[in-house]
Amino acid sequence: MFITGASIVGAGVKAPRIKTKNLVSVIFCEAVAIYGIIIAIILVQNIDDTTPEDWLDNYNTYIFNGYCLFFAGLLTGMCNLACGICVGIVGSGAALADAQNGELFV
């Protein structure tokens, strides 16, 4: 979002018409963040309360489930980061190209 926002503001000096037209990529970056929050809420629902006796009986299962939830959240965050960077780079290129040639986009 930072990459796209900086390009829109910078290119908006040369061509003010692109400020509102190229906000779609910023909205896509925010949508990716919302997907990450939704996954976090889904993952939190999988955490159960345990008793000390139950913990000792099923120790390996709880450790495995904890690692699974941790790495699922970590993978979701890394995918959201990569997707956000890609959307930012594409949005930046689109904003700069639209500033140079107004006939590229409708």
> pLDDT per residue over 94-106, tens digit each?
878 877 887 777 6
Is 87 within 8 Å of 32 (Cβ atoms)? yes
Find tokens 């000096």 and name the residue: 13
> pLDDT per residue over 11-27, tens digit each?
777 777 777 777 777 78
Q: How far apart are CA 62 and CA 6, in angstroms?
A: 45
Q: How far apart are CA 93 and CA 14, in angstroms?
A: 15
Is 87 within 8 Å of 4 (Cβ atoms)? yes
Find tokens 């390009």 and name the residue: 7
> pLDDT per residue over 55-71, tens digit each?
788 888 888 988 999 99
